[in-house]
Structure 1
Amino acid sequence: MALHNSVIDDYHPTEGYYECRSCRTRTVSATHLSKCPDCGGSVRNIAVARE
């Protein structure tokens, strides 16, 4: 039997948790962010841990 990611990790966030790569500000948003609301830098989604 092959396992799929949806079986292993069924996490589906309703809000995104973002961290700015420049100023490290963290923001919660219900919509996708493409830049930091404080400094305009690029952001990354930190809602799900990455290995």
Structure 2
Amino acid sequence: MTVHNSTIDNYRATEGYFECRSCGSRTVSDAHLGSCPSCGGSVRNIAVARE
């Protein structure tokens, strides 16, 4: 069985994907988020390559 990245991580270049470092919630936004809308924690851009 071959697993494609699109199955695991459905990132689209037209949207920014952010994940909260505190609660783990994910948010899609066109603009950079300064904090998590759910808990106010710091967020990271998960659209950036992760190696």
TM-score w.r.t. length of structure 2: 0.68
Unaligned ranges ≥5, structure 1 = 1-12
Unaligned ranges ≥5, structure 2 = 1-12
Structure 1 distance, partners of 2:45, 2:24, is 12
- After superposing on structure 2, the runs of 4+ consecutive aligned residues of structure 1 that deviate more than 2 Å are none
2:35 aligned residue: 35
Cα RMSD between the aligned structures? Answer: 1.6
Structure 2 distance, partners of 1:39, 1:33, is 13
For these two proteins, the number of residue pairs brought into alignment is: 40
> Which one has the largest radius of gyration?
1
CA displacement at 1:48 relative to structure 2? 2.6
